Amino acid sequence: MAIKDLRDNLKRLKDADPVELASQLNGWLQESGEAIRLRVEDEVEKAVTKRGFVKRSEFQKLEARIAALEGKPKGASKKSAAKKPATKSSAKSAIKPAKRKVKK
């Protein structure tokens, strides 16, 4: 039965308009790509949740809630302090001199 279906499909392909066939194939590829993308997103989300990670949006909500409970302004979090550029004096102190090889 599968061989008969294959023959019928091949006959339809032979008689089909190439432009229409390409259009149908393009539509099928887009639908398949979307289905694969959704499946991958679901699998990644399951794996991340299983390992105990949280989404960035969930973390930011929790961070804002903690800041509100502590009475801090929303912008005064550790994350914003970490983004400040280093000054020259702190940058120089962070750089360690290279070790020199001692000749024996």
Q: Give residue 10's pLDDT band: very low, low, confident or very high (50, 70, 90).
A: confident
Q: Predicted confidence band at 79 (pLDDT cuts at 50, 70, 90)?
A: low
Model confidence at 93, pLDDT cuts 50, 70, 90, reads very low
Q: State the DSSP string of the chain.
A: -HHHHHHHHHHHHHHS-HHHHHHHHHHHHHHHHHHHHHHHHHHHHHHHHHTT---HHHHHHHHHHHHHHHT--TT-SHHHHHTSPPPHHHHHHHPPPPPPPPP-
Cα–Cα dist 50/44, whole Å: 10
State the average pLDDT over residues 91-99. Answer: 50
Query: For the chain, which residues make up each domain, given as ranges?
Result: 14-77
pTM of structure: 0.43
Q: What is the mean pLDDT of residues 44-48?
A: 92
